[in-house]
Structure 1
Amino acid sequence: MDAKTVIENRFINQKLVASSWCDSPEKIVFHFGAMQSQNYGQSLWAVGSRLITPSELAVKQAIDHGEIIRSWLLRGTIHLFSAKDYHWMMDLIAPTIDKICKPYRAKLGLTEEVLHKGSEVVAEFVAEQVATRKDLAAHLATMDLPSAGIQFAQLLVYLSSRKIICSGPDESFRNTKHIPADTTNFTREEAIKELAKRYIQSHAPATLKDFCFWSGLNVTDAKVGLADSPKMGDFYIMPLVENSSVTPTIPLAGFDEWIIGYRDRSVVLPETWHDEIITKNGIFRPAIITDGKVVGKWEKPKKLARLEGDYWDRYIQFRNML
C-alpha cells in the first residue's frame, strides 16, 4: 500500500480531520480503546486536538470526573481509557503487566508479603479520600512500606493492576468504586477481539506487528484478535477512502498515537527527524506534521502569542478555554 493511501486513511481513523472530530473527550478515548498518556499535559492535547471544540478544561474534567481513566495499561505504560472499558481492559492486560514487572519486583524486594500489605494499607487509605502521590508516599512510609523511587513506582503499578487505585483529579489517586460495573462479560478471546477492533478502527491501515507493539500482546493472541479484520497485503484496514481533507500542518502532542501507535513509523517519521522526536530513553517529543509527515518539533510555549501560523489556532483555543 502506498504512503499516500496510508496517511490519508489514518487521518480519518485517527480523527485528525474536521469530518471525524468528536464532541466529547470520552468518545475520542473510547474510539481509540487506549491513548498513550505518559506525559499528562501532552495527553490532554492529544485528546483535545481531536475535539470539535478544543478545550483543555473539557479533557481535564472528563478525567477528574472519572469518565476517562488514566492508569498503567498497555505495555505497562500509562494510558487514557474510558471508564466503560475499565474492567475488561484491566482484566485482559493485568497478566501482561505482571509478566513485565515481576522481574523488577523481585530485584527490588517487593515480595508477595510486601505487595499484600501495601494493598491493604492503600485500599484503606483511599477508601474515603482522594490522595496525591505525595500523600500516598507519606502514609506508606509510616508503615515501613516502599514510599520512594522505583520501589514506590512499581508498587503503584501493582495497586493499579489490582484495581485498588486509579486516577483522580489533578493527577491524584482514588479508589475504583465510582467506576461502573462491568457489563460486557467478555471471555479472554472476546476481549482480545474487542481490543483489536478498537485498534484497527483508530489506527488503520496498520500491520500485525503494529498491533503487537501497541497492545503488548504476543503474535498468537494478536492474530486471534485480528482474525475478523479485512486485510490488504500486510495491512489491516477499514474501508479505504480518498481523503482530500488532510490538514496540511498540525502540532501533535508528545506521545501522540499518530507516531507512537505503530511499530513501523517510517511512513510518517522521516529518518532525519527520528532522533529529534524519539529520545534514547523513549520520550516522544511533540511533533509538527505537514501532510502527515514530521517536519519539526515544538515545546509548550510560555506565551501563546509566540505561536505563529494558522495551524496553531486550535491549540491556542484549547489553551485559552481554561
Structure 2
Amino acid sequence: MERKTIIQKRFINQRLAETTWLSSPEEVVFHFGAMQSQNYGQSLWAVGSRLITPNEQTVKQAIDEGEIIRTWLLRGTIHLFSARDYHWLMDLIAPRIDKICKPYRTKLGLTEDILSKSTEVVKTLVAEHAITRKDLALNLAKHDLPSSGIPFAQLLVYLSSRKIICSGADETFRNTIHIPAPEYTYTREEALKELAKRYIQSHAPATLKDFCFWSGLTVTDAKIALEDFTKEGDFYLSSTIEKSSPVHTVPLAGFDEWIIGYIDRSIVLPEEWHEAIITKNGIFRPAIISAGQVVDKWEKPKKKAELTGDYWNRYIQFRNML
C-alpha cells in the first residue's frame, strides 16, 4: 500500500480530518478504545484536537466527572478510556499487566503482605473522597508502606489493576465505585475482538505488529482479535466508509496516537526527526505534521503571539487564548 494512501486513510480514521471530528471528549476516547495519557496536559490536546469545538476545560471536565477514566492500561502505561469500557478493558488487560509487573514487584520487595496491607490502607483513604498523590504517599509512609520512587509507582499500578483506584478530579486518585456497572459482560474472545475493532477503526491501515505493540497483547491473542478484519497485504483495513479529505497541517500532542499508536513509525516520522520527537528515555514530544508527516516539533506556548500560522487556530481556541 502506498504511503500517501496509508496517511490519507489514517488521517480520517484517527479523526484528524475536519469531516470526522466528534462532538464530545468521551466520544473521541470511545472511538479509540484507549488513548495514551503519559503526559496529562498533552493528552487533553490529543482529545481536543479531534473535537468539533476544541475546549480544554471540556476535556478536563469529562475526566474530572468520571466520563473518561485515566489510569494504567495498555502496556502498563497510563491511558484515557471511556467509563463505559472500564470493566471489560480492565478485566482483559489487568492480568497481562500483572504478569509483566509481578517479577518486578518481587525484585522491589513488594511482598503479598505489603500489597495486602497497602490495599486496605488505600481503600480506607479513598472511601469517601479523592486524594492527591502526595497525600496518598504521606499516609502510606505512616504505615511504613511504599511511598516513594519506583516501589510506590509499582504499587499504584497494582492498585489500579485491581480496580481499587482510578483517576479523580485535578489528577487525584479516587475509588472506582462511581464507575457504572457493565451493560454487557464480554467473554475473553469477545473482549479481544472489541479491542481490535476499536484499534482498527481508529488506526487503520495497521499491521499485526502495530496492534501487538499498541495493545500489549501476545501475537496469539492479537491474531484471534483480528481474524475477522479485511487485509490488504500486511495491513488490516477499517470497514467504515471513507470520504476523501485534505490532510492538513496539525500540531499534535506529545504521545499522540498518530505516532505512538504504531510500532513502525517510519510512514509518518522521517528519520531526520526521529531523535527530536522520541527521546532516548521514551518521551514523545509534541510534533507538527504536514501532509501527515512530521515536519517540526513544538512546545506549549505561553502567549498567543508565539503562534503563527492558521493551523494554530484550533489550538488557540482549545486553550482559550483568543
Alignment gaps of 5+ in structure 2:
none
Opposite residue 147 of structure 2, the aligned amino acid is: S
In the alignment, what sits opposite 1:54?
54
1:91-240 matches, cutoff 5 A: 91-239=91-239
Counterpart of 1:213 in 2: which secondary structure? helix
Q: How far did residue 244 of structure 1 move?
A: 4.1
Question: In 2, are the aligned partners of 1:15 and 1:50 still within 8 Å (CA)?
Answer: yes
Opposite residue 67 of structure 1, the aligned amino acid is: E
In the alignment, what sits opposite 1:278?
278
Query: Would you say 1:74 and 2:61 are equivalent positions?
Result: no
1:256-275 matches, cutoff 5 A: 256-275=256-275
Q: Could you report, residue by residue, the CA deviation over 1:181-227 in whole angstroms, capped at 9, with x for unpaired residues?
A: 01221111110000000000000000000000000001000000001
Q: Distance in 2 between matches of 1:6 and 1:321?
A: 34
Q: Distance in 1 between matches of 2:93 and 2:195?
A: 10
Question: In 2, are the aligned partners of 1:205 and 1:236 still within 8 Å (CA)?
Answer: yes
Distance 1:205 1:67, change over 3 A: same
Q: Distance in 1 between matches of 2:134 and 2:200?
A: 38
Query: Would you say 1:313 and 2:310 are equivalent positions?
Result: no
Opposite residue 215 of structure 1, the aligned amino acid is: S
In the alignment, what sits opposite 2:20?
20
Query: Would you say 1:32 and 2:32 are equivalent positions?
Result: yes
Q: Distance in 1 between matches of 2:94 and 2:77?
A: 12
Question: In 2, are the aligned partners of 1:9 and 1:241 still within 8 Å (CA)?
Answer: no
Q: Distance in 1 between matches of 2:321 and 2:65?
A: 18
Opposite residue 217 of structure 1, the aligned amino acid is: L
Q: Distance in 2 between matches of 1:318 and 1:66?
A: 21
Q: How far did residue 305 of structure 1 move?
A: 1.7
Q: Could you report, residue by residue, the CA deviation over 1:2-51 in whole angstroms, capped at 9, with x for unpaired residues?
A: 00110000011000011100000000000000000000000000000000
Counterpart of 1:320 in 2: which secondary structure? coil
In the alignment, what sits opposite 1:87?
87
In the alignment, what sits opposite 1:2?
2
Q: How far did residue 66 of structure 1 move?
A: 0.0
In the alignment, what sits opposite 1:44?
44
Alignment gaps of 5+ in structure 1:
none
Q: Could you report, residue by residue, the CA deviation over 1:257-300 in whole angstroms, capped at 9, with x for unpaired residues?
A: 00000011111000110111000100000000000000000000
Q: Could you report, residue by residue, the CA deviation over 1:113-157 in whole angstroms, capped at 9, with x for unpaired residues?
A: 100110011001100011000110011011111011111111000
Distance 1:196 1:239, change over 3 A: closer
Question: In 2, are the aligned partners of 1:75 and 1:216 still within 8 Å (CA)?
Answer: yes
Q: How far did residue 246 of structure 1 move?
A: 2.4
In the alignment, what sits opposite 1:250?
250
TM-score where L is the length of structure 1: 0.98
Counterpart of 1:284 in 2: which secondary structure? coil
TM-score where L is the length of structure 2: 0.98
Opposite residue 310 of structure 1, the aligned amino acid is: D
Distance 1:317 1:114, change over 3 A: same
Q: Distance in 2 between matches of 1:81 and 1:57?
A: 17
Of 44-53 and 93-102, more deviation after overlay is shown by 93-102
Question: In 2, are the aligned partners of 1:72 and 1:79 still within 8 Å (CA)?
Answer: yes
Question: In 2, are the aligned partners of 1:55 and 1:321 still within 8 Å (CA)?
Answer: no
Counterpart of 1:71 in 2: which secondary structure? strand
Question: In 1, are the aligned partners of 2:201 and 2:240 still within 8 Å (CA)?
Answer: no
Q: Could you report, residue by residue, the CA deviation over 1:154-183 in whole angstroms, capped at 9, with x for unpaired residues?
A: 100000000000000010000000000012
Opposite residue 191 of structure 1, the aligned amino acid is: A
Question: In 2, are the aligned partners of 1:89 and 1:191 still within 8 Å (CA)?
Answer: yes
Question: In 2, are the aligned partners of 1:16 and 1:49 still within 8 Å (CA)?
Answer: yes
Q: Distance in 2 between matches of 1:103 and 1:131?
A: 29
Q: How far did residue 241 of structure 1 move?
A: 6.8
Question: In 1, are the aligned partners of 2:105 and 2:154 still within 8 Å (CA)?
Answer: yes
* Structure 1 runs, 4 residues or longer, greater than 6 Å off: none
Q: How far did residue 239 of structure 1 move?
A: 4.2
Question: In 2, are the aligned partners of 1:9 and 1:240 still within 8 Å (CA)?
Answer: no
